Structure 1
Amino acid sequence: MIDQPVSAPVRGGVRPPPVRPGAGRFLVLLVVFVCAACGLVYELELVALASYLIGDSVTQASVVLSVMVFAMGVGSLLAKRLRCHAAVGFGLVEAALALIGGCSALVLYAAFAWLGEARYALVAFSLAIGVLIGAEIPLLMSLIQRASRRGGRGEEDAAGTVADLFAADYVGALVGGLAFPFLLLPWLGQLTGALLTGAVNAVAGGALVLWLFRRDISPRARWWLLGANLAVLAVLATATALVADFEAAARRAVYGEPVRVAVHTGVQEVVLTGAEDGPVDLFLDGRLQMSGGDGDRHHRALVHPAMRQGPHARVLVLGGGDGLAAREALRHPAVRSVTVVELDPGMVRLARTDPALSALNGHVYRDPRVKVVYADAFRWLRGATAPRHAYDVVVSDLPDPGVTPSTKLYSQEFYGLTAGVLADGGRLAVHAGPVGARPHAYWTVESTIRAAGFATRPYRAPGRPDRGFVLAVPEARGVPPAPGPGVLGVEEERPGDVPPSTLLRPRYAD
């Protein structure tokens, strides 16, 4: 399918567009703006979903960006073959981009849910989307030059055209980059947001070619392009209508149990599986945080060793929005206050209201001794509202350190800030991830705590799943007390010199 010569001869061999040159130029730049916004949304959506499904957002962002930039160069070279048929070529490129980019999140999630692996799909989509985005600019350059001519006459200012084109492209990228986290993701979610972006992409590209450049395309080519765009829009609309059913089926495939609660809190996805009167499995962003009755064993091992010896009237829990660490702290009669610093109000709301989870945490949020502070733990410790030397026990109940957003909460700087809120004789207890499954990450946590000026005692909870912890006291106070019965020391497993993790040198990637 190629552009056919028009039947009526025109001066210079070029058919003028149906609008004045200035208006035609503006319409092309407007479509450049829209397409750039859509392209960046596809890119950010791949990075966000890959980080959620695979983990380690730094690695996933690097893979997506490097593959896409390489593919954009390939696409620019391939577009040279279409310059003589720029209108039809651009129409086909935008239809393909709308379909592939719009469906990318859906297919990526399906690969993760049913195949258990999304890396290959991630690279394939990054490559395909990059090729199509790279093909846009050369074709748009041809179209904007054509739209600016009047009757085939006139010299174009090439430098000015390039400047206008890239200005529209960069501004569109800015809008798309801001729209994704602040509008599409919180309002529509990743799947529907990507599908809607694809629809906008198809309408903008198809409308430009089928109206502004209709005189440059044969009737047969126009019908083919119209049919292709309508088919793409039909696919995207059908997928949008089925998103809820797809998400429910995919969750069943991922979690293996009937999903009783699944909410996007604005901070993370929280999923509860199991019956209201039975064991509860808690998942945060697809990662298992608590399995069945394991919550008792995990949180007993985390909290009680720090409470056994020394004062423990004032307890600070960093993270722990599920209320289980606070529940264990309140089992000690001498506790007068428990402050929970939790980033996600939705998690606390669920821990208050869900029958199974609130029963599991002993309705801890009804206890007047419990105070909740909604804040990022790092910022709160650094801010003026965190009381200095006020807590006898600090419990760090945060996601595993291998999850990139949590890396700063396992840094030397973070533990240095934590030392500032510990009272004289205070103890720090840290959930440090699995000892056996991820020994490098576990021992990096232990090394990082020591580098922040603590003496440490590493230990684990027996049984499965593997849970590792670190009990620490300020180095000036000597060695931490033995963690007590029910846990196993692992000091003999400590490897050689393990570098600590800092904000500028995170070291948790295995």
Structure 2
Amino acid sequence: MIEPHAPAPPSTQSSWRGPARLPVRPDTGRFLVLAGVFVCAACGLVYELELVALASYLMGDSVTQTSIVLSVMVFAMGIGSLAAKRLRRLAAAAFGSIEATLALVGGSSGPALYAVFAWTGDWGGLWLDGPRCLLVSFSLAIGLLIGAEVPLLMELIQRIRRQDAGGAVADLFAADYVGALVGGLAFPFLLLPFLGQLTSSLLTGTVNVVAGGALVLVLFRRDLTRRARRLLLITNIAVLAALATAAVLVDDFERAARHAVYGDDVRVAVHSDVQELVVTGGTHGRPLDLYLDGRLRVDGRDERRYHEALVRPTMDGPHAHVLVLGGGDGLAVREILRRPGVRRVDVVELDPAVVRLARTDPALSVLNDHAYDDPRVHVTTGDAFSHLREVPTASYDVVVADLPDPTMTAGTKLYSQEFYGLARRALAPDGRLTVHAGSLATHPRVFWTVEKTMRAAGLHTAPYATPGDDAGFVLASPDTRPTLAGDVREVTESRPPGLGASTLVHPRY
């Protein structure tokens, strides 16, 4: 058994260079090293979450993006830990260099990924397109650097006071895991809401380089040669200057990138608590387009055809009381109000900023015929799934689900068997439900999965599409199969084999 302060056996002290010459007491030095571990771990997790969030925003399908980032990063951390074994004799200088590099790479990862997406877009539609190649590259680089931290920090903490390996690992990992917890909570609840994605990554890089540089240049400065101290100081100052410059220019960068993505006629660009809203056109004869988190939600060129197909078939029956799930832009409400006999329309929208935009934006309010000025329309802010739980049985004649595309992972629960069961309960016996079920041309499997899921919830379905368009819809009723009316065509093509209810997975079809 090795005593805590006894010299280690020769086989375990290949990198042992004697106790570090510290400007503070050993106990204070250990505390400062563990504090540095805490800060670096928090920064590392913020980089990871930043990549996941931005990749999900830019490329969709959050499950795939999260899997890519986590798997590549964890693999790279193992490689980085192995590679750092050769640097333990120069632990202080190596750790300082790694932290400066990590701060620059991690801090610039968000702006770089956004820039590639904005100015190059998808490279040929391949799985490894431009943005995803960069995502993998950043995940690999950040993982390598984070993995290299642990062996070097272990060496530094052992140089302050030699102790058994188990105790040193326990102290190091405790500080690391607590730091990861703080970083994981700070990103969604503090950094993202108040600073946004790009500024958050730049600020995190700044904190990272300051913490790593201060730990080495102050606490372990005597382990460095004068030349090494000077080079490390210059490097840290250069990284700080680069991050600070990027932070100052980030607003101009975002505007330029937004114009590269959406064109030159961006009129509105706001970040709500839920998503980014961008409005283009709507003036001087240009059609209005509404983008939510970078995805086209309202296409002014053909939105009328889409909303007529969504609403009109379900209004061919009792329709005094109507529930609209989503549809905060007011365009589905516009079509509902055009039918006589409507007494009340309840709209459940997750993001109040969408409703506010639909009320106040001149072009969008004209497009929706000022639907929200009608006293029959009542808006509730909240999640559609949770709202349906509170709706009394048989409350509505019509339910219109104007929700995000079913190929988006974040909205999967809104196309689940449980969701349709709640919608069925909210309908009167002769009521009707209509759902946009995705594209028949590009995602037929998703379309038929939605239709089968609705049938599994006890609804009688009638799938349909608009003539000459690939947008697919499903009309459903609790008791009998509804009859389609209006300018729509029933879809009767064979369903792909092997479909089950509530199986909205998202491969590239």
TM value normalised by structure 2: 0.93
Does the 8 Å CA contact 1:401/1:508 hold for their aligned counterparts?
no
Which moves more between the two structures, 274-283 or 85-94? 274-283
Partner of 1:247: 254
From 328, 331, 338, the counterpart of 2:335: 328
* Distance in 1 separating the partners of 2:181 and 2:169: 18
Does the 8 Å CA contact 2:19/2:160 hold for their aligned counterparts?
no
Q: State whether structure 2 residue 292 is matched by structure 1 residue 275.
A: no
Identity across matched positions, percent: 67
Partner of 1:226: 233
Does the 8 Å CA contact 1:458/1:469 hold for their aligned counterparts?
yes
One-letter amino acid of the counterpart of residue 346, structure 2: T
One-letter amino acid of the counterpart of residue 64, structure 1: V
Q: State whether structure 2 residue 125 is matched by structure 1 residue 118.
A: no
Deviations 1:348-385 (A, max 9, x none): 11111111111111111111100111111111112x3x
Partner of 2:320: 313
Which moves more between the two structures, 111-120 or 100-109? 111-120
Partner of 1:129: 142
Partner of 1:293: 301
* Distance in 2 separating the partners of 1:445 and 1:393: 19
Q: CA deviation at 1:256?
A: 2.8
Partner of 2:505: 507
* Distance in 2 separating the partners of 1:299 and 1:390: 23
Does the 8 Å CA contact 2:449/2:504 hold for their aligned counterparts?
no
Q: CA deviation at 1:169?
A: 0.3
Give the match's secondary structure for 1:432.
strand
Structure 1 293/13 Cα, relative in aligned 2: closer, same or farther at 3 Å?
A: closer
Q: CA deviation at 1:15?
A: 4.0
Deviations 1:11-35 (A, max 9, x none): 9754421100000000000010000
* Distance in 1 separating the partners of 2:37 and 2:420: 48
Does the 8 Å CA contact 1:407/1:508 hold for their aligned counterparts?
no
One-letter amino acid of the counterpart of residue 176, structure 2: D
Partner of 2:477: 473
* Distance in 1 separating the partners of 2:194 and 2:460: 46
The residue correspondences of 1:345-424 to structure 2 (distance < 5 A) are 345-382=352-389, 384=390, 386-424=391-429
Structure 1 339/235 Cα, relative in aligned 2: closer, same or farther at 3 Å?
A: same
Structure 1, unaligned stretches of length 5 or more? 1-10, 149-154
Deviations 1:167-195 (A, max 9, x none): 00000000000000001101010000000
Deviations 1:19-73 (A, max 9, x none): 0000000000001000000000000011111111111111111111000000000
Partner of 2:311: 303
Does the 8 Å CA contact 1:41/1:177 hold for their aligned counterparts?
yes
Does the 8 Å CA contact 2:73/2:144 hold for their aligned counterparts?
yes
Q: CA deviation at 1:492?
A: 2.8
Structure 1 455/277 Cα, relative in aligned 2: closer, same or farther at 3 Å?
A: farther
Deviations 1:105-159 (A, max 9, x none): 11111111112131100000000000000000110011111223xxxxxx42332
RMSD over aligned CA atoms reads: 1.5
Give the match's secondary structure for 1:392.
strand
Does the 8 Å CA contact 1:440/1:508 hold for their aligned counterparts?
no
One-letter amino acid of the counterpart of residue 420, structure 2: Y
Structure 2, unaligned stretches of length 5 or more? 1-15, 122-129
Give the match's secondary structure for 2:421.
helix
Partner of 1:72: 77
How many residue pairs get matched?
484
* Distance in 2 separating the partners of 1:15 and 1:471: 74
One-letter amino acid of the counterpart of residue 110, structure 1: A
TM value normalised by structure 1: 0.93
Q: CA deviation at 1:417?
A: 0.8
Q: CA deviation at 1:216?
A: 0.4
Deviations 1:232-273 (A, max 9, x none): 111111111111111111111112342111111111111111
From 420, 427, 449, the counterpart of 2:454: 449
Partner of 1:19: 24
From 52, 75, 82, the counterpart of 2:87: 82
Give the match's secondary structure for 1:329.
helix
* Distance in 2 separating the partners of 1:276 and 1:30: 55
One-letter amino acid of the counterpart of residue 470, structure 1: V
